[in-house]
Amino acid sequence: LRRARNVADGVSEKIFSGKDPALINIQGPIGEFVFAKMFGFPWDINTKPRKGGIDFECKNGIMIDVKHTEQTVDPQLRNSQHKIERDYHADVYVLIAGPVCGPKFSMMGYAFSGELMREENIDRGSYVLPARRLRWDLEGFRILIGREG
């Protein structure tokens, strides 16, 4: 998918998790698809090479990066530390949890960039926030992204 195109076109991406790149290639789009369905965004299936973590751009300019984890017990929102060295980081990070094969997924919460990207949140090359520290104000989130109602 997108990762394979990135590699073919010389766009490098570091993997800090030790996970199989094929699994990462599946996990990202699954989280994005679930988020798109939950909040009525079009799902971008474009595989053109790109760097950066912007999955959705709201009409009000808010940039969203969706993270997916299979961990349903004590899940964590993780974003590679190297991503903030670029100007591609999102305004809001959303954590979706559930097994890759489904059938059930949950939005575990969200964090603003400034909440996630703090020195005290660095763990092995990534910014990490446990789900218990994420925001979970669904109505406020809907208003933030322009999907209230």
Please report, for the chain, the start and end positions of each structural domain, with discontinuous segments joined by +: 2-144
Would you state the pLDDT for residue 17? 54
- 46-100 tens-digit pLDDT: 655 555 678 999 999 999 999 999 998 999 999 887 655 555 679 999 999 999 8
5, pLDDT greater than 60? no
What's the predicted TM-score (pTM) here? 0.82
Q: What is the mean pLDDT of the chain?
A: 83
108, pLDDT greater than 80? yes
Would you state the pLDDT for residue 13? 53
Two tokens at 5? 């195109």
